[in-house]
Amino acid sequence: MKARILYTKPSVTELEVGYATDATRNGWGERCYDYIHRFEAQFREHLGVRHAIATSSATGALHMGMAALGIGPGDEVILADTNWIASAAPIVHLGATPVFVDILADSWCLDPALVERAITPRTKAILAVHLYGNLCEMDALRAIGTAHGLPVIEDAAEALGSVWHGRRAGSMGAFGAFSFHGTKTLTTGEGGMFVTNDDALFDTVNTLSNHGRARGQARQFWPDMVGYKYKMSNVQAAIGCGQMERIGELVARKRAIFHRYRALLAGCDGIALNPEPAGCENGAWMPTAVFAPATGVTREALQAAFAAENIDARVFFHPLSSLPVLGGHAGQPLAAGIAARAINLPSYHDMTDEEQQRVAAVLRGMRHG
């Protein structure tokens, strides 16, 4: 059996270990927020936003942000059918209804024309998820949002390092959410970030994130609203501080792996990788190969071929509307069609060129039966 190729694995150096050790030894009492504040400041600066709140997950950041926007029972939030359930779960938890629209054939992100058609009097927000690092059509979505008075939320959990015409993913909407789960480009084990340029929204989420205790509240143990507990710990933030010092390197490596796959598959008809349109940079969190219908290649055939080579490749997200827990429908046509002939490729920081060649060889081999 050939050596196993993992699909993700974090890159953690002595820098992160040093900070985490310091936080573990000394980051208590008066210093229990030091790394958290430092991590938030690094993130604000990197993204170019006014406010950042470190959270225990991206799901928590989305949940609090949507709650602060007033999303609740009877409301609808529009998002792409192709997504991980973490983007939809907070909508359901708030008593609102996720409305799934189909994706664009090239970016695999929500189709703005279908978003506009899905708007009803109950629509409360548009959730733009930058899938696998690919960017949503932010100009079109923001124009629709402005025309209908709807906030555009960015789930940038997969889009650290992605840039839309000079602006970083997550910095363009009413608020943005990031994930630092162990599979993501930057990791703190588990963790996330809420970001916004809206002072009032920041104040509300800040209060919600602290068990409902407002910043200016002088009375002890006196919540101003019923909040949440989605805070990041100082030890996790210490790891994040080290990762942020290496953010350029972490993103550059993801992009290099992605571009290497593009080179290895150049001239190979019938395989589309993540797009990188003019004016955009793809943070390339998850290089993904989609086979053209004419190739006849299926997800099941891809899974079998990669398993035979001991390579950990993962399936493309199932349409959320096809999950029994979210309706169990057929799924939107493109969301279902693309998922049936696509695969996520390994892309961890320390992967070797020889490993990338093994992955590319499997993809090329699919096309000759």
Ligand X SMILES: *Cc1c(COP(=O)(O)O)cnc(C)c1O
Residues of this chain that bind ligand X (CB under 6 A): 57-59, 84, 86-87, 129, 155, 157-158, 179, 181, 192
Could you tell me the smallest distance in angstroms from the CB atom of residue 32 to ligand X?
22
* CA–CA distance, 231 with 192 (Å, rounded to integer): 9
Instruction: Kindly state the smallest distance separating residue 169's Cβ from ligand X, in Å.
Output: 11
Q: How far is the CB of 184 from ligand X (least distance, A)?
A: 6
Q: Which is nearer to ligand X, 109 or 359 (CB)?
A: 109
* Least distance between ligand X and beta carbon 17 (Å): 22
Distance in angstroms (rounded) separating the CA atoms of residues 211 and 66: 16
First to last CA, the chain: 22
Nearer to ligand X, 98 or 192 (CB): 192
Residue 241 to residues 13, 37, 269, 327, Cα–Cα distance (Å): 12, 10, 43, 41
Closest separation in Å from C-beta 155 to ligand X = 5
CB nearer to ligand X: pick between 35 and 285: 285
CB of 98 to ligand X, least distance (A): 13
What is the C-alpha separation between 23 and 156, in angstroms, rounded?
Answer: 28
**Two tokens, residue 58:** 């991206």
Give min distance, CB of 84 to ligand X, in A.
5
Q: How many angstroms separate the Cα of 92 from the Cα of each of 84, 149, 153, 281, 325?
A: 14, 22, 16, 32, 11
Give whichever of 241 and 297 is closer to ligand X, judged by the CB atom: 241
Q: Which is nearer to ligand X, 7 or 84 (CB)?
A: 84
Q: Which is nearer to ligand X, 64 or 360 (CB)?
A: 64
Q: Please enumerate in sequence order all residues whose Cβ is within 8 A of that of 121, keeping only pairs 6 or more positions apart, or say none.
A: none
CA-based torsion, 322, 107, 195, 127: positive or negative: negative
Reference 238, options 188, 194, 190, 183; nearest CA is 188
Q: Which is nearer to ligand X, 162 or 360 (CB)?
A: 162
Compute the distance between CA of residue 57 and CA of residue 214 in angstroms, rounded to an integer: 21
Which DSSP string do the residues of 282-309 spell out, in sequence order? ---SS-EEEE-GGG---HHHHHHHHHHT
